[in-house]
Structure 1
Amino acid sequence: MSLHGGSIDAFSAGAGQGSTFTFRLPALDIGAERPKVQRSAPASGEGRILIVDDNVDSADTMGIIMASFGYEVRTAYDSASAIAEAVAFVPQVALLDLSTPEPDGMSLAEHFQQMPETKKTLLIAYSGYGRQEDIEKTTKAGFAHHLVKPVDAETIHKLIQSMIPGEG
């Protein structure tokens, strides 16, 4: 909880009296904290991001935030729909959750590297896995970068700007 700026409190009046647990997380007002980013119109074919995460809320929230930066965003919650979306959308960047099941994000990255539509897609690992060996595996698998959750959207935006020619 502390990584998210929150806290947990527990209270009990004694044995047999029950317990009260209070979870506190700070509210995020996306409208009030909307990033102020100077954008130029992206060149043809730039600024398309595919977000693949089996956590629907996480994927959708990241999609909304990245769209607020001016990117065209699509989300997928499993590998099969990610592949279909990639063929139709031809993303410049794919933000892949490594724990997306069947196949996992590593296998999906390998598949993307073999597809003509995504051969040049920049792959970013987006995961709770952050050990050095995890980062080495993603680098070896062809990911351009490895981000460890939780990651702030501004960090992702700056990373994408630095990776896509013509962005920023």
Structure 2
Amino acid sequence: MFTQNAVRLLIADDDPNVLAAYVSFFNAQGYEIRTSGDGADALAQYRAWHPKAVVLDIQMPMLDGRAVAREIRRLRAVPRPLLVAVTALTAASEHAESLNSGFDYHFVKPADLPVVLATIAADALSNDMDA
């Protein structure tokens, strides 16, 4: 259940079990959540809803998470959304490629959701202090 001032969070992952776990976790923390199972839908939802934070898997059908991140950054939204990759890709080069694609953070699955939560919450707090 979210509150009126809940942070909007878009979560995209093509694994429905992972997606359900993320939704359960972040919903319990009071986030207003929308989900997607592929990159093209995630991008469409981002454009329509303008969430404050986006958690994306990298390897998804239609558009991969990096393509979605690049397109979101190309839109130059203000305020700038936090983009978080949560992926099975573990190599340092993969991490660097995620950051070069526009992600702010790259977490490896299985991600420690409290750490992801702390990252999103810290970003939301710093943006609120800047406003």
TM-score (norm 2): 0.84
Q: 1:116 Cα shift?
A: 5.5
Residues 1:100 and 2:34 are matched in the alignment: no
Distance of aligned partners of 1:110 and 1:163 in 2 relative to their CA distance in 1, 3 Å threshold: same
Q: Tell me the residue number matched to 2:7.
A: 47
Q: How does 1:1-168 map to 2 (within 5 A)?
A: 42=5, 47-115=7-75, 120-165=80-125, 166=128
Q: Deviations over 1:34-58 (max 9, x none)?
A: xxxxxx974xxx6111001011121
Q: 1:154 Cα shift?
A: 1.2
Percent of residue pairs bearing the same amino acid type: 26
Q: Deviations over 1:124-145 (max 9, x none)?
A: 1110102111111111112110
> Structure 2, unaligned stretches of length 5 or more?
none
Q: Tell me the residue number matched to 1:6.
A: none
Report the secondary structure of 1:98's partner residue: coil
Q: 1:87 Cα shift?
A: 2.1
2:57 alignment partner AA? D
The number of residue pairs the alignment matches comes to: 125
Q: 1:114 Cα shift?
A: 2.1
Report the secondary structure of 2:19's partner residue: helix
For 2:108 and 2:79, locate their aligned partners in 1 and report how far apart those are by CA, in whole Å: 24
1:94 alignment partner AA? V
Larger radius of gyration: 1
Distance of aligned partners of 1:147 and 1:89 in 2 relative to their CA distance in 1, 3 Å threshold: same
2:13 alignment partner AA? D
Instruction: Quote the RMSD (CA, aligned, Å).
Output: 2.2
1:78 alignment partner AA? D
2:80 alignment partner AA? K
TM-score (norm 1): 0.67
Moved over 4 A (4+): 116-119
Distance of aligned partners of 1:104 and 1:51 in 2 relative to their CA distance in 1, 3 Å threshold: same
Q: 1:88 Cα shift?
A: 2.3
Higher relative contact order structure (alpha carbons within 8 Å, sequence separation ≥ 6) = 2
> Structure 1, unaligned stretches of length 5 or more?
1-39
For 1:161 and 1:41, locate their aligned partners in 2 and report how far apart those are by CA, in whole Å: 16
For 1:83 and 1:140, locate their aligned partners in 2 and report how far apart those are by CA, in whole Å: 18
